[in-house]
Structure 1
């Protein structure tokens, strides 16, 4: 396992604090470009480009790029209001089973936290090297 040193991670984090700059990493042979971009009027995100692009099929198909670089978000199909009503009517065992069965995961190439992006990259890649910053 060959990972970047903490000084290099600090350099990447500082570089991503400003717009119009990008950082390139080599993650197990994939060229990963990280850029700070605006998502909305008051929201900035770190966008992850794999080999220079973000492909639409990665959102839908289970593939290596999605698993390694996209942010997974797990949600319930039921709202909090629906859950409260179900608590009154169902047994705890059935409710727990329902919670597990009716979850779904979405994947996005946008990260709002550098710390969570860094830990995801370290967990899912064996070799991470800084190419250019």
Structure 2
């Protein structure tokens, strides 16, 4: 059963009214905990814990836990390197196996917006909210 608009409203209200509010979900047998936390002194984010942990090996992808984190797309090479690569002939780039426009996807446990988090959570059909008893 997918999460409803009422569930999303509950999550937003519950997390917003507490300094370090926690909301629990169960998705595909994983216990997902959403925690309203500080990224910097003045910036709040929603951090996604999977079975109570954050593992750095999930950042690069290739693990089932990555599907619950925020995908971050970027170029494989920095701007200065890409600029230099564009001066190289296409034939040489192909020979070396380089592509200045190649992109990569990393994953982040931090969501800066409820809107993007909820859009992501809507993709899971069997998500269940565990409401807090207070």
SS in 2 for 1:60: coil
1-structure distance, mates of 2:56, 2:82: 32
Structure 1 residues 82 and 62, CA, compared in 2 at 3 Å: closer, same or farther? Answer: closer
Q: Does 1:57 align with 2:57?
A: yes
Alignment TM-score, normalising by the size of structure 1: 0.78
Instruction: Give the conservation status (yes or no) of the 8 Å contact 2:25–2:31.
Output: yes
* Structure with the largest fraction of helix: 1
Instruction: Give the conservation status (yes or no) of the 8 Å contact 1:48–1:69.
Output: yes
Instruction: Give the conservation status (yes or no) of the 8 Å contact 2:61–2:106.
Output: no
Q: What's 1:3 paired with?
A: 2
* CA deviation after TM superposition for structure 1 residue 60, in Å: 3.5
Structure 1 residues 128 and 41, CA, compared in 2 at 3 Å: closer, same or farther? Answer: same
Which segments of 5 or more consecutive residues in structure 2 lack a partner in the other structure?
Answer: 94-98
Which segments of 5 or more consecutive residues in structure 1 lack a partner in the other structure?
Answer: none
Instruction: Give the conservation status (yes or no) of the 8 Å contact 1:48–1:109.
Output: yes
Segments of 4+ moved more than 3 angstroms? 80-83, 88-91
Structure 1 residues 61 and 82, CA, compared in 2 at 3 Å: closer, same or farther? Answer: closer
Alignment TM-score, normalising by the size of structure 2: 0.77
Q: What's 1:31 paired with?
A: 31
* CA deviation after TM superposition for structure 1 residue 32, in Å: 0.5
Deviations 1:70-118 (A, max 9, x none): 11111122428965xx5x9989xx9xx642xx21222111110111111
Q: What's 1:126 paired with?
A: 125
Q: What's 2:96 paired with?
A: none
Number of aligned residue pairs:
123
SS in 2 for 1:12: helix
